[in-house]
Structure 1
Amino acid sequence: MEAEDAAGSDDAALALHWTPYKPSWLRDAPLAERLTYLDCPHTVFRQILATGRDLPEAAWQRLDNDLDVSVRRAAAHRPDTPPEVLLRLIRAHGERSHVRPLLVDHPNFPRQELRGFVDEPDPRVRLLALEDPELPDAELRRIGDCTESFLRAGVARHPNVSADLLERLLADPEPTGAEDAAANPVLPRARMDGIITEAGL
């Protein structure tokens, strides 16, 4: 099929690149058979292999260093993932926000490292600092000064944000950030009432 795809076959291209095939049968195969897929050139097989829970340590080391990040993410969701593996993966690639549970919520994730993410150059990783519910005001202000609107909105939703920082975020040029600031229960009730009055509601 790959040869047909290379030759320009539309059917082969559709089968290889558009069909969301998942070899779920591999999950139930004997361990020895599953391990033969460690070197499989097709990522989807290594992804399924990485969802197992009974692999030997040598296999986990291979999967934790797989060339494809989706394989590394799948492997990282096992119960005994080492903290350094989780931290390395998060620092390099951030989270996939639509996948639950988040890797930062893994029992082995070193949550004391979250505050260090404030200085990460990648805004997707910097966002994860906000997973610390006790992030200090100084760090919240630094993130609140970022150019990325989703970071400012994250600060506006944070439970430890100060009322005066919320006041500043109420003037955010992006409506979502301003709305998140207005909805944060940290904002004084009188200010909330004033916002509703100003809106004519």
Structure 2
Amino acid sequence: MRVAVAFSRHVTPGTRDRLLALLEAEKADGSVAARVALDWSSYEPSRLRDAPLAERLTYLDCPHAVFRRVLAAGRDLPDEAWRRLDADPDVSVRRTAARRPGTPPQVLVRLLRAHGEVFHVQPLLVDHPEFPRRTLRGFVDEPDPRVRLLALQDPELPVPELRRLTDCEEGFLRAGAAGHPNVTAELLERLLADREPEVAHAAAANPVLPRARMDRILAEAGL
């Protein structure tokens, strides 16, 4: 109810700010309901999308990220507004702005190197027409494993880089390497014996695995 009132076009800025400040304080204290209300797109002030450009631009300085995120979903903003949104302190605002056509490649690379990808939001930023996919294999050197995972989005990732990922401590990286189309039968053999079942399952499901090895797996399982 507080979100609905705060997002109404009839409420004063002062009332809006007080209501949202209360929710943001509750979110900081761990309230799931407040986090959902502030972060889920279904609770965004969507009315702002149809407002005239001059009105929307007044929200560049809004202290609440949800309004700046709706602004960033527009496609008709001037260059200065995009520069500010690309440097917004809230990563969700920067991600939304980055989905526009013509996003500078360096903006996309910088965002992904800093925060990785959100895989449940389609299309992925690595699939953006302006993203320089030649940079993907360089993500293998990133210290953050969530960012390192993006190297696997390169279908031609060289075997030496895949081998490095199979040696990672994180199981999700080893599982990603096990399902990669460029992985070798030799690496798959190692991954079939992985200590984490999801890694072994990914290796067993990879069509790169020789047919004879697949038959052996089925026979050993009594299938």
* Normalised-by-shorter TM-score class: over 0.9
DSSP-derived class of the 2:60 partner: coil
How has the CA–CA distance of structure 1 residues 5 and 133 changed in structure 2, closer, same or farther, with 3 Å as cutoff? Answer: closer
Aligned-pair distance for 1:97? 1.3
Match of 2:168 among 120, 133, 146: 146
| Cα 1:179–1:15 shift into 2, 3 Å | closer
Which residue of 193, 208, 211 maps to 1:171? 193
Once residues 75 and 51 of structure 1 are traced to their aligned partners in structure 2, the CA distance between those partners, rounded to angstroms, is: 6
Q: Please, what is the CA RMSD of the aligned residues? A: 2.0
Corresponding position: 1:41 with 2:59: no
Are the structure 2 counterparts of residues 145 and 18 from structure 1 closer, same or farther at C-alpha, using a change threshold of 3 Å? Answer: closer
Any idea what SS the aligned residue of 1:37 has? helix
Change (3 A) 1:36 1:152: same
* 1:67/1:171 CA distance change after superposition, 3 Å: same
Counterpart mapping for 1:98-177 below 5 A:
98-177=120-199
Which residue is 2:219 aligned to?
197
Distance (Å, rounded) in 2 between the aligned partners of 1:118 and 1:82: 22
- 1:174 Cα deviation after fit: 0.7
For residues 136 and 35 of structure 2, the distance between their equivalents in structure 1, rounded to whole angstroms, comes to: 37
| Residues 5-154 of structure 1 aligned to structure 2 (within 5 Å) | 5=22, 17-19=35-37, 20=40, 21-154=43-176
Give secondary structure in 1 for the equivalent of 2:61. Answer: coil
| TM-superposed deviation, 1:51 | 0.4
Q: CA deviation at 1:14?
A: 9.1
Cα gap change, 1:31 to 1:15, in 2 (>3 Å)? farther
TM-fit CA distance, 1:15: 8.4
Q: C-alpha displacement at 1:131, in angstroms? A: 0.6
Q: Tell me how far apart the structure 2 counterparts of residues 195 and 14 of structure 1 sit (CA, whole Å).
A: 44
Gap runs ≥5 in structure 2: 1-14
Of 200, 205, 217, the match for 1:183? 205
Amino acid at match of 1:107: P
Aligned-partner SS, 1:36: helix
How far apart are the structure 2 equivalents of 1:119 and 1:159?
Answer: 20
Instruction: Give the TM-score normalised by structure 2.
Output: 0.84
Structure 1 unaligned residues grouped into runs of 5+: none
Shift of 1:5: 3.5
Over 3 Å counting, the alpha-carbon distance change for 1:18 and 1:176 in structure 2 is: closer
Alignment-mate amino acid for residue 200 of structure 1 = G
The percent of aligned pairs where both chains have the same amino acid is: 71
Aligned residues: 197
Residue 16 of structure 1 and its aligned partner are, at CA, apart by: 5.7
1:22 counterpart letter in structure 2? E
Inter-CA distance 14–193: structure 2 relative to 1 (3 Å threshold): closer
